[in-house]
Amino acid sequence: SRILNSRLFKFIVGETTSGTPIEFLVHEEAIAQFSKPLYNLIKGRLSEAQAGCTIWKDVSKQSFERLAQVAYTGDYSIPNTRRRNRFTEPEKVGMDALRRLQTSKNKKKGKGTRLSSADWGVSEPEPQPESSLRFRTKRERYLEPPSPRLFATDFSSLQYPLVAPRNIHHATCETAEHFEPDINYSDVFLVHASMYVLGDFWLIDSLKALALYKLHRTLCIFQLNNENIEDIVYLARYAYNEETKGMEEGIGGLRSMICQYLAQNAAVLSLHAGFTDLLKDGGQFVQDLFVFAVQRMQ
């Protein structure tokens, strides 16, 4: 009730990522509970708190929808994967608040079947011959109730199937358990990475942990080959994008996981032009990858 009775707070998102701002109304308590910076933004003394509205230009519509989903349910949905021969541009996740990093650091400081009589352990009554001199009553049209001699074992075997899922989003939130070679995983990788970055920006430790958990499970079933190496390269480029400068400490969990995966699969990656091009860019990525590669050799 604390969340549902709280004020509706307006978020205007996606202007930079899609070119069109989109408005969302979310219960303020659902978002404010995430972290101290978000609490101050929504319920503190800032102008946004007073107006009941804030603008997140660099957060995409999809990323904010997932953030709100986590706020209300504790998990977020994963996008449907695409066949590699139908490859399209990966979902726009933008850089999800990366451009406002310095501002954030300043804030840190301050869906059955019906039951039949058989389900009760009762057999259908045999039809009785009707007498022409006898009238059937309305009561006789109904089955007799179950026998009172119902044992505990009989009771436990009764079935009460659900008519709807207990969690309508459960299937969409679970990571895949098996690798599909003809699937493009770019969107999935970038969704988890962008949720981590958003969580890092607003100091949402639970969201960062959830994103890393899902990304790790996906990478564990992912089988690297010449056809899908670009999916991993795209992920690495996102994590080490120019706009993430200055985020080495906060984004370390994401970068560390990516570098460990790359170091473990260096032999396959070294034969791919996209990966070698990434190495040529130098910077923090090469330094981090070198550290993990050396550690694997020891």
* pLDDT digits 0-9 by tens, 268-278: 998 889 899 99
Nearest CA to 16 out of 94, 120, 112 is that of 94
Tokens of 88: 């399209």
Torsion sign over Cα 40, 42, 44, 45 = positive
CB–CB of 65/19 below 8 Å?
no
Nearest CA to 233 out of 199, 269, 271 is that of 269
Tokens of 13: 């998102």
Q: What share of the chain is helix, strand, coil (3-state, %, to 5)?
A: 50, 5, 40
Tokens of 44: 């503190």
The residue that leads in pLDDT, 113 or 4, is 4
Tokens of 115: 């039951």
CA 147 to mean position of chain CA atoms: 49
Torsion sign over Cα 170, 171, 177, 179 = negative
Angle CA(38)–CA(6)–CA(46) in degrees, nearest 5? 35
Q: What is the pLDDT of residue 243?
A: 64
**Structure confidence at residue 61 as a pLDDT band (50, 70, 90):** very high
**Structure confidence at residue 140 as a pLDDT band (50, 70, 90):** low
DSSP H helical segments within 100-204, as ranges? 101-109, 152-156, 170-173, 186-201
**Structure confidence at residue 75 as a pLDDT band (50, 70, 90):** very high
Q: What is the pTM of this model?
A: 0.75
Nearest CA to 90 out of 190, 19, 227 is that of 190
Q: What is the pLDDT of residue 81?
A: 81
Beta-carbon contacts of 217 under 8 Å, excluding residues fewer than 6 positions away, are 175
**Structure confidence at residue 80 as a pLDDT band (50, 70, 90):** confident
Q: What is the pLDDT of residue 86?
A: 47
CA–CA distance, 78 with 91 (Å, rounded to integer): 11
